[in-house]
């Protein structure tokens, strides 16, 4: 079978396995156990200048081919154009986007450099699968290097309506770049419709026909096992004892302005203020590891959240009860899975999210005999696969409070029925199935 070349901004570390490896790496490894794979992209290291030579490490059938980024390229390509401009725009937050010609030039330069480094490594029958918004121009840059291989692209984040996207300076250039791919995958039918309309408006009607939705999933069974195993760990037991029979609400997100955290904290405050029966009876744990600390908006958000935590605990705490526990460091996945299983409510309220895997992980972590309730933003891509969730508008703190009250007082039979409605897709449409669906579209009859 021909080789698959996966191009992603961050290439997984060959030493990372199982619980610590990224979702995409695990999904590909499982789906493609019989196939030769090359990962190509950034090593995660920053040096003086972007490396001219590709470093290669081969483990079994997988080769990891990486480049270090130079300091300037890191600043303009990664922090600048990718994280401070494309990320907010694609999440419908044009007002937060910071555009600079220098960042834009850095973005194109790195994509060109990656393509120039990859092109000579490609075999004629390779299938090339490029991932995410850091690398929109990669396909066109490979074509310019003379590459004729099958080229697929998957966008992990949302694609906004054309009226939003075209507010981005030079937006049309990115659409023309996308037209170089044979298949252009997105997470939801809404994203697909938005992208098709944008491509058509840019005069790329042919490319619009190559857009399709492939909702990504998780390896649900292994997450369930993690959660089950966690129940006998010391950390879990200590945490359980600290709750002294109070119902647990859990939130798990990167500290990112797309996740709706201030509105969520405000909603929880409304719950305590309006539904007084829950006072002293509930604990909300929010785990929000700091991310992208070198982008100004993320630092501002962190300060804003610190204030919210102080306000809510200051206003509602009792000497023996802190209503909100908040931590900004990462928690190991096996521990987190156990915390999710213990939680009566999973609170997932992004303002906009490509998919949101935490929502699916929460469902997978539950005990089917006594499951908790998922409170989910109607603007997460995962909504389509989670019909049993309680949906909220994440901008409406009162709606969040009402949904929390409903979840906390829900009878076991309804909890079970709602969980079963969510579990169908979470366990059936996993990461492996997603991988196979995309590749079989890209390769026609070829089975991955």
331 binds ligand ADP (CB under 6 A): yes
DSSP collapsed to 3 states, the chain: CCCEEEEEEECCCCCCCHHHCCHHHHHHHHHCCCCCEEEEEEEEEEECCCCCCCEEEEECCEEEEEEEEEHHHHHHHHHHHHHHHHHHHHCCCHHHCCCCHHHHHHHHHHHHHHHHHHHHHCCCCCEEEEECHHHCCHHHHHHHCCCCCEEEEECCCCCCCHHHHCCCCCHHHHHHHHCCCCEEEECCHHHHHHHHHHHHHCCCHHHHCCEEECCCCCCHHHHHHHHHHHCCCHHHHHHHHHHCCCEEEEEECCECHHHCHHHHHHHHHHHHHHCHHHCCCEEEEEECCECCCCCHHHHHHHHHHHHHHHHHHHHHCECCECCEEEECCCCCHHHHHHHHHHCCEEEECCCCECCCHHHHHHHHHCCCCCCCEEEEECCEHHHHHCCCCEEECCCCHHHHHHHHHHHHCCCHHHHHHHHHHHHHHHHHCCHHHHHHHHHHHHCCCCCC
Q: Does 336 bind ligand ADP (CB under 6 A)?
A: yes
Clarify whether 353 is annotated catalytic. Answer: yes
Applying CB under 6 A, which of residues 93, 299, 302, 333 lies at the interface with ligand ADP? Answer: 333
**Window 235 to 254, contacts with ligand ADP (CB under 6 A):** 252-254
Q: Segment contacting ligand ADP (CB under 6 A): 128-136, 144-152, 325-333, 384-392? A: 325-333
Closer to ligand ADP by CB, 174 or 252: give it: 252
| Subset of residues 43 to 72 that bind ligand ADP, contact rule: CB under 6 A | none
- Only one of the segments 7-15, 191-199, 326-334, 410-418 lies at the binding site for ligand ADP (rule: CB under 6 A); that segment is 326-334
Q: Per-residue x/- marks for ligand ADP, 351-380, CB under 6 A? A: ----xxxx--x-------------------
Tell me whether residue 156 is one of the annotated catalytic residues: yes
Site for ligand ADP in 405-444 (CB under 6 A): none
Residue number, 32 or 287, with CB nearest to ligand ADP: 287
User: In the bound complex, what is the minimum distance in angstroms from residue 405's beta carbon to ligand ADP?
Assistant: 25
Least spacing, CB of residue 241 vs ligand ADP, in Å: 22
Catalytic residue among 91, 104, 131, 156: 156
- Counting contacts by CB under 6 A, is residue 204 touching ligand ADP? no
For the annotated catalytic residues, the residue numbers are 156, 353
List contacts with ligand ADP (CB under 6 A).
23, 252-254, 287, 289, 330-331, 333, 336, 355-358, 361
């Amino acid at each position: 079978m021909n080789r698959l070349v996966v191009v992603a901004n961050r290439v997984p570390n060959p030493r990372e396995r199982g619980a610590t490896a990224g979702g995409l790496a695990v999904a590909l490894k499982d789906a493609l156990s019989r196939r030769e794979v090359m990962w190509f992209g950034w090593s995660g290291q920053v040096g003086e200048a972007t490396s001219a030579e590709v470093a290669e490490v081969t483990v079994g059938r997988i080769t990891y081919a990486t480049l270090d980024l130079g300091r300037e390229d890191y600043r303009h390509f990664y922090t600048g154009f990718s994280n401070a401009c494309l990320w907010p725009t694609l999440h419908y937050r044009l007002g937060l986007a910071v555009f600079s010609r220098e960042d834009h030039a850095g973005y194109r330069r790195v994509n060109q450099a990656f393509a120039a480094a990859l092109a000579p490594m490609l075999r004629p029958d390779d299938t090339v699968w490029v991932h995410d918004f850091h690398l929109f121009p990669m396909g066109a840059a490979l074509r310019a290097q003379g590459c004729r291989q099958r080229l697929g692209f998957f966008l992990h984040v949302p694609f906004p309506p054309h009226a939003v996207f075209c507010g981005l300076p030079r937006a049309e250039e990115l659409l023309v770049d996308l037209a170089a791919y044979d298949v252009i995958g997105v997470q939801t039918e809404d994203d697909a419709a938005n992208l098709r309309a944008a491509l058509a408006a840019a005069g790329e009607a042919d490319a619009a026909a190559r857009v399709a939705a492939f909702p990504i999933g998780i390896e649900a069974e292994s997450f369930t096992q993690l959660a089950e195993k966690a129940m006998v760990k010391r950390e879990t037991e200590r945490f359980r004892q600290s709750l002294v029979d109070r119902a647990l609400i859990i939130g798990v997100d990167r500290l990112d302005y797309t996740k709706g955290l201030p509105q969520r904290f405000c909603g929880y405050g409304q719950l305590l203020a309006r539904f007084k029966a829950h006072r002293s009876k509930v604990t909300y744990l929010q785990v929000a590891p700091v991310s992208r600390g070198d982008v100004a908006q993320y630092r501002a958000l962190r300060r804003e959240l610190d204030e919210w935590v102080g306000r809510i605990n200051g206003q509602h705490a009792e000497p023996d009860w802190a209503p909100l526990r908040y931590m900004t460091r990462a928690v190991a996945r096996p521990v987190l899975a156990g915390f999710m299983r213990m939680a009566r409510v999973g609170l997932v309220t992004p303002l906009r999210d490509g998919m949101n895997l935490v929502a699916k992980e929460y469902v997978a972590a539950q005990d089917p005999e006594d499951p908790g309730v998922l409170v989910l933003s109607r603007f997460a891509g995962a909504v389509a696969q989670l019909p049993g969730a309680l949906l909220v508008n994440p901008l409406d703190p009162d709606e969040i409070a009402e949904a929390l009250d409903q979840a906390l007082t829900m009878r076991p039979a309804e909890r079970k029925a709602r969980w079963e409605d969510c579990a169908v897709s979470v366990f059936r449409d996993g990461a492996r199935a997603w991988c196979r669906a995309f590749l079989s579209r890209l390769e026609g009859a070829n089975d991955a």
